[in-house]
Chain A
Amino acid sequence: MSHSQKAAEFVQNEAKTNWHNETLWWVRNKRDISTQKIPEWEELRSLGSAVKENVMTNLADYLEEFEKNATANGIHVHWAADGQEHNRIVQSILEQHNAKKVVKSKSILTEECGLNHHLEDIGIEVVDTDLGERIVQFAKQPPSHIVLPAIHMKKEEISELFHKHLQTEEGNNDPQYLTEAARQHLREKFLNADVAITGVNFGIAETGGFVVCTNEGNADMGVHLAPVHIASMGIEKLIPRFEDLGIFTRLLARSATGQPITNYTSHFHRPESGKEIHVVLVDNGRTAQLGREKFRNSLKCIRCGACMNTCPIYRRSGGYSYNSTVPGPIGSILSPGFDLKKNKSLPFASTLCGSCSDVCPVKINIHEQLYEWRQVIVSEGLDASPKKFAMKVASKVLGSSKLYFSLGKMARKSLSTLPNKMIYNNLNAWGKQRDLPKPPKESFKEWYKKNRS
């Protein structure tokens, strides 16, 4: 299904759509207030972007440097060309430790690789430990937002899920009560886990370590209790130097939720004695995107979600309408690189207003890339056929002044006399949710002839 079809489903519930829209706009406002407290904010964005530019253009060297230093620190480094290989590597580490129970903290990359399904198929219990992710896992859904995974759900729905899975009181919708229930439930999972899996916010080439940011502390609860820590990391997550963290820790949380920093910013360099740390470096389409000059910048993304919170389309269509692991504006420029045919409607799910580019902490030109993808999609003939037909007609009509004027005359007459059924039908996609403007009595040319000539 295309984005617009899925979005049409989402907006069926008007009250919920409005709530979704307003809540995300509130998060966007918090971001504004928080960033305005830093006088050098714009300079920080430029620095963040320039550091990532340096990473992208020296990626092979930095990857080797990271591997060398991490290995010297006692971290096991693995390389995965795609999602399947990533999953196989994780599976083999689990098998080596005879692990059956896994706790996982938020990792968009493992979603992208479909790790949970892979592990569940071989009989491993995988528990997502971020509260929002646990909620959507109970609901058998993927996250609908990369920072706020359950933002599409109301507390009544969550209460119902918890009643079913955690035996909480029926109809008790108090977030405090529900969070406490999840805390008790997940505490037991943390204490009994064989392996903990996390994502990576920043991998540091210079020191061979990595940083994981959370507010709940779930990543740390998992990895410090389990004997084995597996960190899945996209190869674009590297930063060259330890000092670069000064830039990115200032940019990330302010852009994401408006907090001045995440509660927990954890720096891993060596395993705790008697334990193991594994890092899996994953390509899965990233080197291909690196090779696309116009879209290379999308790899700078630090996954803050600011572009989703500000996007007028995302706010009113919900994360699921994008049908891709990373939804919203950034997802709409990343996903076509993975599968152009499947994601061909995404670059059109935008007004090209540019708000996403304005809030992006690493200055990705998101709206320009959306426009570029549209051109790729049209030139490969993948655009939707009603639009194709309309464009063909328009190019004929606009190419001939004779045809343009006579059709204009006809339209002005017929639009005011024809019955609505003839005007609002499947050929008129624009008129599905809108009224056409009232046709004027005469064209500007006719008016000019009468009054000025």
Chain B
Amino acid sequence: MSDSRAAILSRIRDLNLEKKEHPVIPDFEKNGDVKSQFINSLVASHVSVIEGNLDTSLFEQITSKNDIIYSNVDELSSLSTIQKDQLEDQLTLSSLDHVIVRGEIGVGENGAIWLPEINIEKRVMSFITLHLIVIVSKNDLVHDMHQAYSKIKELPGFGLFVAGPSKTADIEQSLVIGAHGPKRMTVLLTD
């Protein structure tokens, strides 16, 4: 194995290519109202958007009685119908109806939301649930991906930009929502 390492590196170095500089990424002009851009992007990606506060009554409208819910947002922990340690069981994970997590950054140009590992408890959780609910504060919105990446100061072991429910168009380019992961996604935009 290490033989190949040395071989690959020396094959590259033997070429003696003239080194080119890394370019400077300019500060692109940001235009327009970031909140409406964010909402428009999400709606275009089949995400339901609610504006409001962290009020548990809000969730009665988007969940049903016997649903399995896990909230990783402290203020909404009373909504959880299962305990944290039950997430170790794959069958429980696979039967999750709603997962509630907090997003750190929302991006206007594409509706992407940054979910660092610490906000999602188990990595698979936001993929395996039927319905993903993400809380985003209006203060955490940025215009584009350059701003978003510059806001990520601490690198999590795993982090995710999520921009909508799971989807595919692999059969004749017909869009189908809910390929493997969530069939629904809701964003609660708070003040």
The answer on A and B forming one complex is yes
**Residue numbers in A under 8 Å from B26 (CB-CB):** 43
> What distance in Å separates the Cβ of B47 from its nearest Cβ neighbour in chain A?
10
Tell me, yes or no, whether A412 is within 8 Å of chain B by CB: no
Chain A nearest Cβ from B24, distance in angstroms: 9
In angstroms, Cα B15 to Cα A47, docked, is: 24
Whether B162 sits at the interface, judged by CB under 8 Å, is yes
A135 within 8 Å of B (CB atoms): yes
CA separation between A431 and B188, bound complex, in Å?
A: 64
Known: A51-B22, A57-B20. A246 touches B146 (CB 8 A): yes
A79-B8, A191-B94, A221-B128 known; A150+B18 contact, CB < 8 A:
no
With both chains docked as a complex, state the minimum distance between the C-beta of A124 and any C-beta of chain B, in angstroms.
21
Separation of A176 and B168 alpha carbons in the complex (Å): 10
- In the complex, the number of residue pairs spanning A and B with C-beta atoms less than 8 Å apart equals 236
Does A263 contact B167, Cβ atoms closer than 8 Å? yes
Contacts A47-B23, A54-B20 given; indicate if A218 touches B180 (C-beta within 8 A).
yes
Given contact pairs A178-B171, A265-B112, A250 touches B13 in the complex (Cβ within 8 A): no
Interface flags, A61-85, vs B, CB<8A=1, else 0: 0011000000001000011110001
Q: Is B176 an interface residue (CB 8 A)?
A: yes
A242–B149 Cα gap in the complex (Å)? 8
Q: How far is the CA of A15 from the CA of B164 in the complex (A)?
A: 34
Chain B positions 8-32 with a Cβ under 8 Å from a chain A Cβ: 8-9, 11-13, 15, 17-23, 25-26, 28-29
Q: Does A9 contact B (CB under 8 A)?
A: no
Q: Are A246 and B160 in contact (CB under 8 A)?
A: no
Known: A148-B173, A183-B180, A260-B163. A246 touches B144 (CB 8 A): yes
Say yes or no for A3: interface residue by CB 8 A criterion: no
Contacts of A268 in B (CB 8 A): 157-158
- Knowing A50-B23, A243-B150, A264-B162, say if A220 contacts B124 (CB, 8 Å): yes
**A262-303 to B contact mask, C-beta < 8 Å, 1/0:** 111111111110000000010100010011000000000000
Residues of A in contact (CB 8 Å), total: 92
Would B157 and A269 count as touching, CB distance under 8 A?
yes
Docked pose: A218 CA to B171 CA in angstroms: 16
Given A81-B7, A183-B178, CB of A243 within 8 Å of CB of B170: no
B62 within 8 A of A: no
Within the complex, the shortest CB–CB distance from B128 to chain A, in Å, comes to: 7
Interface residue B103 (Cβ < 8 Å from any Cβ of A): no
Are B128 and A283 neighbours in the complex by a CB distance under 8 Å?
Answer: no
**Residues on B with beta carbons closer than 8 Å to the beta carbon of A158:** 171
In the assembled complex, A304 has its CB within 8 A of some CB on chain B: no
Tell me the minimal C-beta distance from B106 to chain A in angstroms: 12
Given contacts A191-B94, A242-B149, whether A260 and B171 have CB atoms under 8 Å apart is no
Our pick among A37, A175, A178, A243 for the contact of B25 (Cβ within 8 Å) is: A243
B179 on the A face (CB < 8 A): yes
Q: Is B48 an interface residue (CB 8 A)?
A: no
| B179 interface neighbour in A131, A245, A266, Cβ under 8 Å | A131
Q: A79-B2, A290-B12 are in contact. Are A217 and B179 (CB under 8 A)?
A: yes
- Proximity string of chain A (152-196) to chain B, C-beta cutoff 8 Å, 1 when within and 0 when not: 001100100000000000000001101110110011001100000
Residues of A within 8 A of B28 (CB): 39-40, 43
> In the assembly, what is the distance between CA of A37 and CA of B44, in Å?
14
B144 pairs with A287, CB closer than 8 A = no
Is B155 a contact of A242 with CB atoms below 8 Å? Answer: yes
Q: How far is the CA of A264 from the CA of B167 in the complex (A)?
A: 10
Tell me if B118 is interfacial: C-beta within 8 Å of chain A.
no
What are the residues of chain A within 8 A of B45 when measuring CB–CB? Answer: 259-260, 263
Most chain A CB within 10 A, of B28, B90, B111, B169, is at B169
| Contact pick for A261, options B15, B112, B181, CB 8 Å | B112
| Given known A57-B19, A217-B166, contact A85–B4 (CB-CB < 8 A) | yes
Q: A216-B168, A216-B179, A217-B166 are in contact. Are A290 and B15 (CB under 8 A)?
A: yes
B167: which A residues are within 8 A, CB to CB?
Answer: 215-216, 263
Contacts of A243 in B (CB 8 A): 25, 146, 149-150
26 residue pairs bridging A and B, Cβ less than 8 Å apart = A27-B173, A43-B28, A56-B17, A59-B12, A60-B12, A79-B4, A81-B7, A89-B1, A132-B168, A148-B173, A175-B176, A178-B171, A187-B180, A216-B180, A217-B166, A217-B180, A235-B8, A243-B146, A246-B25, A260-B111, A263-B164, A263-B165, A265-B112, A266-B158, A267-B156, A269-B157
**Chain A residues in contact with chain B, CB under 8 A?**
23, 26-27, 37-40, 43, 46-47, 50-51, 53-54, 56-60, 63-64, 73, 78-81, 85, 89, 129-132, 135, 148-151, 154-155, 158, 175-176, 178-180, 182-183, 186-187, 190-191, 207, 209, 215-218, 220-221, 224-225, 235, 240-247, 249-250, 257, 259-272, 281, 283, 287, 290-291
Residues of B whose CB lies within 8 Å of any CB of A are 1-2, 4-5, 7-9, 11-13, 15, 17-23, 25-26, 28-29, 41, 44-45, 90, 94, 107, 109-112, 122-124, 127-128, 144-146, 148-150, 152, 155-174, 176, 178-182
